Amino acid sequence: IDGKRKVLLNGAVSGLSESKAKYITDLTDHFLDPARLQNVDLSTLTDEELREKLLAVKGLGPWSVDMFMMFDLQRANVLPVGDLVVRKGLALFHNLPVKHFENKKNLSSLSQLCAAW
């Protein structure tokens, strides 16, 4: 209907693109694999461990992991520096051009300053 190719998951039309269906399948595979995420309590992992495990899943990037940490795990010490709205807000607050916060070094130093919060 919307021009996108619909994918069958378990015999039903999913409404997802083929790539998104593959990402969901890969996420499922990770949770079914004892060597990866099966029986892992994600809430007990450090931020670094969690990032390493989740970024190994096809389709999950730093932004998705940050959002999961903030909204699902309720971790308060996450600064989603890859989020354009966050970068624009930081630029406005610090009276700097948004391009300043495209530099990973500038973002890293800023996130360290905010770590105490």
**pLDDT at residue 115, as a whole number:** 63
Q: What is the pLDDT of residues 71-102, one digit of tens each?
A: 999 998 888 888 889 888 888 888 989 888 88
**pLDDT at residue 1, as a whole number:** 41
The yes-or-no answer on residue 2 being catalytic is no
Give pTM, 2 decimals: 0.77
Calpha distance 101→97 (Å, rounded): 8
How many residues can be counted in the chain?
117
Q: What is the pLDDT of residues 30-71, one digit of tens each?
A: 999 999 999 999 999 999 999 999 999 999 999 999 999 999
Tell me which of 29, 41, 72, 83 is the catalytic residue.
83
Helix, coil or strand: residue 8: strand
